């Protein structure tokens, strides 16, 4: 991390802790996060818990994110949620293009770009996820895939937009096999170089988070990389002590 970008630690609860247990987890994080010390802490509960978790965290330094949204503002889209609805429920962030959305629900680069633009237009801060599969990495296509995913959203971004990008190699998500610090840094640096082709200011302003089996014992090494500005945490975000240990790793020594 560099001192110019605020570190972000975001917890993606996925389809877990929807109701009362989500409020309990949020309350535990709030209680034990004595001082975020300049780290931006975000939790992303399921839609059903967004409003209650937001209320639980009201007045705290912890922000709330949606895990997905529809690009349209409203309309006949059964089962979908708009950016305005996420905001109304208390979210200030939204995770977009998570690999589970891309792989299991057919989300495309173009669709993620549309959602990113819609989120920003509505005043929500998108965390745009990118990452290669193991087959793509083994075929030597990591940079092609990841940079194409980033390029798809670059036109929607501006230095002051408040967005973040999360590099999440698909092979590292939920597997316990995290990218090494060197592997993460290599891809993060390439992402930042691509952003710099649009503008150096955009490259400098964009936090690039790493995600994929981030745990208390590997967080410090990953977060010490100059181009790793935070973490998007799945499994370890379901335990307040583990999550807060990762937040503490973002403080640095
Ligand atoms: P993980 O998930 O930390 O459980 O690997 C990360 C993510 O999916 O964002």
Query: Quick check: 46 pLDDT over 90?
Result: yes
Place of tokens 């002590």: 241
Mean pLDDT of the chain: 96
Query: Quick check: 35 pLDDT over 90?
Result: no
Residues 6+ apart with CB under 8 A from 165: 127, 128, 129, 130, 150, 191, 206, 207, 208, 209
Structure confidence at residue 250 as a pLDDT band (50, 70, 90): very high
Q: How far is the CA of 211 from the centre of ligand 1 (A)?
A: 6
SS3 127: strand
Distance between CA atoms of 96 and 129, rounded to whole angstroms? 6
Query: Quick check: 4 pLDDT over 90?
Result: no
**Token duo for residue 24:** 């309990």
Annotated catalytic residue, options 100, 107, 136, 168: 168
Question: Closest ligand 1 atom to the C-alpha of 172?
Answer: 5
Q: Are 169 and 179 within 8 A, CB to CB?
A: yes
Question: Closest ligand 1 atom to the C-alpha of 100?
Answer: 8
pLDDT of residue 2: 61
Question: Closest ligand 1 atom to the C-alpha of 178?
Answer: 5
pLDDT of residue 253: 60
Structure confidence at residue 180 as a pLDDT band (50, 70, 90): very high
Question: Is residue 98 annotated as a catalytic residue, yes or no?
Answer: yes
Distance between CA atoms of 239 and 24, rounded to whole angstroms? 11
Structure confidence at residue 233 as a pLDDT band (50, 70, 90): very high
Query: Quick check: 37 pLDDT over 90?
Result: no
Closest CA to 145 of 126, 181, 170, 176: 170
Burial 47-72 (b: 16+ CB within 10 A, else e): bebbebbbebbeeeebbbbbbbbbbe
Query: Quick check: 252 pLDDT over 90?
Result: no
**Residues 221-228: what's their mean pLDDT?**
97
Give me the residue spans of the domains in the chain.
Answer: 8-250
pLDDT in tens, 78-96: 999 999 999 999 999 999 9
For the segment(s) 8-250, the CATH number from 3.20.20.80, 3.20.20.70, 3.50.50.60, 3.40.50.880 is 3.20.20.70
Annotated catalytic residue, options 17, 98, 163, 188: 98
Distance of CA 109 to the CA centre of its chain: 16
Residues with CB under 6 A from ligand 1: 12, 168, 173-174, 211-214, 232-236
Within 13 Å of residue 197, how many CA atoms lie on the same side as its CB? 10
Q: How far is the CA of 237 from the centre of ligand 1 (A)?
A: 9
């Amino acid at each position: 991390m560099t001192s110019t970008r605020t570190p972000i630690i975001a917890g993606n609860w996925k389809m877990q802790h929807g109701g009362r247990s989500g409020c309990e987890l949020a309350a535990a994080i709030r209680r034990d996060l004595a001082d975020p010390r300049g780290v931006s802490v975000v939790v992303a509960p399921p839609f059903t818990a967004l409003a209650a978790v937001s209320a639980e965290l009201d007045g705290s330094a912890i922000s709330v994110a949606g895990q997905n949204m529809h690009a349209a503002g409203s309309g006949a889209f059964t089962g979908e949620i708009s950016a305005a609805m996420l905001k109304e429920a208390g979210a200030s962030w939204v995770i977009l293009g998570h690999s589970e959305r891309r792989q299991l629900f057919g989300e495309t680069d173009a669709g993620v770009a549309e959602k990113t633009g819609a989120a920003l237009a509505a005043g929500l801060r998108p965390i745009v996820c990118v990452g290669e599969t193991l087959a793509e990495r083994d075929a030597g296509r990591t940079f092609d895939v990841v940079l194409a995913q980033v390029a798809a959203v670059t036109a929607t971004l501006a230095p002051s937009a408040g967005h973040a990008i999360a590099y999440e190699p698909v092979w590292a998500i939920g597997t316990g096999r995290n990218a090494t610090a060197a592997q993460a840094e290599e891809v993060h640096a390439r992402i930042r170089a691509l952003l710099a082709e649009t503008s150096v200011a955009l490259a400098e302003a964009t936090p690039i988070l790493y995600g994929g089996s981030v745990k208390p014992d590997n967080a410090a090494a990953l977060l010490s990389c100059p181009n790793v500005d935070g973490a998007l945490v799945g499994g370890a975000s379901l335990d307040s002590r583990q999550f807060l240990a990762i937040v503490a790793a973002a403080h640095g020594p």
